[in-house]
C-alpha cells in the first residue's frame, strides 16, 4: 500500500493470465487447416496468443488497434545525457501532431489512430491541444540523480492517469494497443529502473538513446544512472515510491497503463527500452501481467534486452530501428494483424473418416489386384 492510498497489491488479484485452455484449442484448430506444422512460424504463436487474450476460438481479426504515446520531459536531461536539448519533448509532440514524425507516418499508412498523452512536458499547456494535455501532472520532473522526479502525490496522480487512459481505450472498443513514448531523458530514467530491477550496474544498461549520443554523453548518462541507482535501491520494495524517485510522470503513467490494460484484457505491443522498463516494474507488481504484452522490436538498447529477458519476451522484429516514438512497435503491428487474420480466416480441413477409409481400402485392393496380375503374367511367361 502506498502512502497515497493506491493499493498496488490489488493488481495481483485482478489480473488473470490469458486462457491456457483456449490457447491450446487455437493450436489444435491450426493443426486442422492442413498446413504443415511450423509453416507460418511465429504467426502461429501470435495467433494462439490473440485467441487466448480475446477469450474465444477462432480469433476475431483485430479491427480497432490504436497507438498511444506518453510524453514527458526529464530533469536529468539537463546533464547532457541526450542528443536532444533538455525540455525539447514538446517539439517531438508537435511533429507527431503535424503528421511529420516517423511514428505519425507509420501510423497513418497502417490506418491506426495515434494518440499523444502529455504527463510532464516542459512547456505551457496552452501551446498544445487540450486533449493532449488534460492528463498532465506537472511541468518537467526533478533530476533523478539528486532528487525525486515526483512527489508521492504526483506519482499516484500519474499512475492513475495511465490507468484512466487504459480504461478510456477499453471502453472505446480498442482491441489492440501499441505503446510508445516521447521524451528527452526518458531512456536514462528507464536505465535506472531496469538496473534497479535486475540488480545490475549502470554500465550494463546504459545505451546510446534514440538519437545516438557520443562517448562523452554516454559517460555522463552512465554516471547519471549510477547516481540514480543509489537513490532507487532503498525504495525497491515499493514500486510507486520507486517510480516517484527515478521514473518521472510519463513512465509512472505507462506502468499504470500497462497494468490496467491487463486488468481490462486488452493486449499491448511494447516498443523500446522505456516501455520495457515500465513493463518490468509492472511485472514486479503483478507477475501475470506480461502475458498480455508482446515485444514489438529489439531497439539495440542493452537495458531493453535485459528487461525483455527478465520477462521472457522475445521481440518480433530486429531491424536496428532506434528512433523510438513507438515506431518499432508500429512496424510490428502488421505482423500481429496478419497473424490474427490467418488464425481467423484459414479454413479447417474437413475430416472425412469414412471417405478416407474407403479410399485407403480401394488403394489396397488395387495394389493387391496389380500384384496378382503381375504374378499371373510371370507364371504364363515361364
Which positions are catalytic? Answer: 325
Q: Give yes or no for a contact between 263 and 11, defined as CB atoms under 8 angstroms apart.
A: yes
Compute the distance between CA of residue 250 and CA of residue 40 in angstroms, rounded to an integer: 37
Backbone phi and psi for residue 229, each to the nearest 5 degrees, phi listed first:
-60, -40
The angle that helices 273-285 and 186-198 make with each other, rounded to 10 degrees, is 40
Cβ burial of 367 (10 Å; 0-12, 13-18, 19+) is: exposed
- How much of the chain is in helix, strand and coil states, percent to nearest 5? 55, 10, 35
159 Cβ neighbours under 8 A, 6+ residues apart: 6, 240, 243, 252, 253, 255, 256
Compute the distance between CA of residue 305 and CA of residue 276 in angstroms, rounded to an integer: 9
One DSSP character per residue, 169-219 reads HHHTT--EEEEEEEEESHHHHHHHHHHHHHT--HHHH---TTTT--HHHHH
- For residue 58, say if its preceding peptide bond is cis, omega within 30 degrees of 0: yes
Amino acid at each position: 500500500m502506498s502512502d497515497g492510498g493506491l493499493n498496488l497489491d490489488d493488481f495481483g488479484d485482478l489480473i488473470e493470465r490469458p486462457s491456457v485452455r483456449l490457447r491450446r484449442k487455437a493450436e489444435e484448430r491450426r493443426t486442422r487447416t492442413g498446413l504443415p506444422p511450423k509453416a507460418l512460424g511465429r504467426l502461429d504463436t501470435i495467433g494462439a496468443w490473440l485467441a487466448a487474450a480475446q477469450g474465444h476460438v477462432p480469433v476475431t481479426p483485430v479491427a480497432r488497434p490504436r497507438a498511444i504515446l506518453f510524453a514527458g520531459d526529464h530533469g536529468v536531461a539537463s546533464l547532457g545525457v541526450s542528443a536532444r536539448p533538455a525540455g525539447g519533448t514538446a517539439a517531438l509532440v508537435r511533429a507527431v501532431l503535424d503528421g511529420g514524425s516517423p511514428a505519425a507516418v507509420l501510423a497513418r499508412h497502417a490506418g491506426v489512430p495515434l494518440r499523444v498523452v502529455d504527463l510532464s512536458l516542459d512547456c505551457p499547456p496552452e501551446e498544445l491541444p487540450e486533449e493532449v494535455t488534460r492528463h498532465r501532472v506537472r511541468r518537467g520532473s526533478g533530476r533523478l540523480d539528486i532528487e525525486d522526479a515526483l512527489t508521492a502525490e504526483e506519482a499516484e496522480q500519474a499512475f492513475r492517469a495511465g490507468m484512466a487512459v487504459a480504461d478510456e481505450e477499453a471502453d472505446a472498443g480498442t482491441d489492440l494497443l501499441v505503446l510508445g513514448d516521447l521524451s528527452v531523458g526518458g531512456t536514462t530514467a528507464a536505465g535506472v529502473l531496469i538496473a534497479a530491477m535486475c540488480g545490475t550496474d549502470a554500465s550494463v544498461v546504459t545505451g546510446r538513446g534514440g538519437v545516438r549520443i557520443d562517448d562523452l554523453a554516454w559517460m555522463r548518462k552512465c554516471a547519471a544512472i549510477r547516481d540514480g541507482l543509489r537513490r532507487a535501491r532503498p525504495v525497491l520494495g515499493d514500486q510507486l515510491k520507486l517510480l516517484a524517485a527515478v521514473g518521472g510522470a510519463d513512465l509512472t503513467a505507462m506502468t499504470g497503463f500497462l497494468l490496467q490494460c491487463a486488468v481490462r484484457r486488452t493486449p499491448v505491443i511494447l516498443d523500446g527500452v522505456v516501455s520495457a522498463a515500465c513493463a518490468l516494474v509492472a511485472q514486479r507488481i503483478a507477475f501475470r501481467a506480461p502475458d498480455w504484452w508482446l515485444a514489438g522490436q529489439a531497439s539495440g538498447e542493452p537495458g531493453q534486452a535485459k528487461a525483455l529477458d527478465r520477462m521472457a519476451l522475445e521481440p518480433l522484429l530486429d531491424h536496428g530501428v532506434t528512433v523510438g516514438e513507438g515506431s518499432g512497435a508500429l512496424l510490428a503491428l502488421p505482423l500481429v494483424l496478419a497473424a490474427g487474420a490467418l488464425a481467423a480466416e484459414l479454413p479447417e480441413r474437413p475430416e472425412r473418416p469414412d471417405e478416407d477409409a474407403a479410399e485407403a481400402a480401394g488403394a489396397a485392393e488395387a495394389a493387391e489386384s496389380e500384384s496378382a496380375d503381375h504374378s499371373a503374367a510371370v507364371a504364363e511367361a515361364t
